[in-house]
Amino acid sequence: MRLVLDTNILISALLKDSTVRRILLNPSFIFYLPEYSIEEVERHMDAIVRRSGLSEEDVRLLVRLLLTNIQVLPAEQLVEKCAEASRLLGGVDPGDTPSWRWRWQQLTTGYGVKTPTYGGSERSRSRGRET
> Sheet holding 117-118: strands in order across?
70-73, 30-34, 2-5, 117-118
Q: What is the pLDDT of residue 4?
A: 83
Low-confidence ranges of the chain (pLDDT < 50): 96-100, 102, 115, 117, 121-131
Q: What is the pLDDT of residue 89?
A: 63
CA 115 to chain CA centroid, nearest Å: 12
Q: What is the pLDDT of residue 53?
A: 97
Q: What b/e sequence results for 29-43 when a residue is b if at least 16 CB atoms lie within 10 Å of its CB, and e otherwise?
A: eebbbbebbbeebee
2-122 maps to CATH 3.40.1180:
no
Q: What is the pLDDT of residue 45?
A: 97
**Domain residues of the chain, as ranges?**
2-122
